[in-house]
Every structure is written in structure tokens, then in C-alpha cells.
Amino acid sequence: MARRGKSYRERAEKVDRSSRYSFDEAVALTVECARTKFDETVDISLKLGVDPRHADQMIRGTVVLPNGTGKTVRVLVFAKGEKEKEAIDAGADYAGSDEYIEKIQKGWLEFDKTIATPDMMGTVSKLGRVLGPRGMMPNAKLGTVTFDVERAVNETKAGKIDFKVEKAGIVHAPVGKASFGKEKLLGNIAAFMDTIMRLKPPGSKGTYLKSIALSTSMGPGIKVDPAFVKDLIA
């Protein structure tokens, strides 16, 4: 097993691995444990009592974090005519049709998120093998295949994230940067948890929210007691 560095061990000593903290305590401790030279991303991990093999228990969705992600998102919109202009006016970094499809096929990937109007999807589908594995393919279920281009661009730029439960029932998502401080991080986490709770499937039996953990990019995991979720959302 790889030996942890001194900095990590010093931060890990501050965390009681046998305890489950409140969100307020966990976020404060997470920020305190962020000591690297770059602004670490704060991530949340959930273990849900669902079986993703059943279609009615597949947890997937999006949420606009009220305080953003702390990351500059480069948005590419596949659109033509007025919708192309609408995308640029809304703040998209790139907008167009065939010219961008050709560039991507040749290896260009200088963007983070894509949006497409429905009439473009027949052509954009050619990029499935390139964008699909990277999680960058426009998807109607995530609101990125739409004629409401202005709204989609604004939400993506403002801090919209998407998430999907993995085979083991785990959901991971970024909820901001350590530099945000406790209050902004709590606001983002509350928005995320509210969405997760609203997505609870009727077919889920037993405990829905089994465990929660917070961590920074290079820091230790900090367990949170799920009993505090209702208070956080309220």
C-alpha cells in the first residue's frame, strides 16, 4: 500500500474517522484540511440504497449550484442561424454546426460542456464515440438538447452540474472550491442534497441515503450523518 505524504497525514489526524459530523462541522473541517498550493475542489460522495440495474431506480439529474463551481466552463453550442447567434449573445464560447463537428473529428477538444438544438442531433450523433466516453455528449435528460439555448448556456455558465449513480449505488459530485468558505459551500451542498432527495424512486426499499462523505481534491474523507440532511435543506 502506498504511503501517504506528511501533509496528508497531518490533515487526516484532525478527522475522527469513527465519527459522523454535522454538515456545518464537516464543511468547516473540510475547508481547514485544504492546505495545498492550489484551490482544491470540494467533492461530495453519497451511498444510496438503490439498484441502478432497475430503470426505475436510476438516479440521474442536474442541479444549478447557487454559488457556482468555482471553475470557468467553456461551452460549445451546436446550432444554426438565429440559435447560433442566441448562443453567442448568451455567453457561449463557441457556437456553430458542421465546422465544429469537423474540428472535433480531427481531435479538437478545447471545451468543457456541449449544448445542441434538437435539429442538430442527427449530425452531432456522429461524435458519440468521442464525446460520449468523456461525458460531454448533449443529452435531452440533462437539459442540454434544447431550443432554449439562452437558458441552457446561462445555467451551464452559472454552475450547473450533472450527476449519475454508479453501479454500486455511489454518486459523486463537485460542490465548489475550498476558497468559497463554509457558508457558500453549505448553500451548494443544500441545493445538491435537495435535488437528490427529490429524486428518491418509489421502488427504493429500506434506507435511501446510507452514507455521505465530503473531501477536497487532496484531503481526507469526512463522514457526515445523513440525519442532518433535513435540517440542511430547511
Residue 43 located in a structural domain = yes
User: Kindly report the CA angle at 114 between 109 and 117, in degrees rounded to 5?
Assistant: 135
**Binning pLDDT at 50, 70 and 90, where does residue 218 land?**
confident
Note the pTM of the prediction, 2 decimals. Answer: 0.86
> Which DSSP helix (H) or strand (E) runs through 60?
strand 60-64
For residues 43 and 215, the answer to whether their CB atoms sit within 8 Å is yes
Write down the pLDDT at residue 3. Answer: 63
Domain co-membership, 79 together with 151: yes
d(C-alpha 124, C-alpha 171), whole Å: 28
d(C-alpha 225, C-alpha 19), whole Å: 9
List, for residues 83-131, the tens digit of each pLDDT value.
999 999 999 999 999 999 999 999 999 999 999 999 999 999 999 999 9
Any idea what the CATH number is for the domain that residue 62 is in?
A: 3.30.190.20
Q: Does the structure show a pLDDT above 70 at 10?
A: no
Residue 11 located in a structural domain = no
Domain co-membership, 190 together with 175: yes
Residue ending a domain, among 157, 175, 193, is 157
Write down the pLDDT at residue 37. Answer: 79
List, for residues 154-212, the tens digit of each pLDDT value.
999 999 999 999 989 999 999 999 999 999 999 999 999 999 999 999 877 889 999 99
Residue ending a domain, among 157, 192, 215, is 157
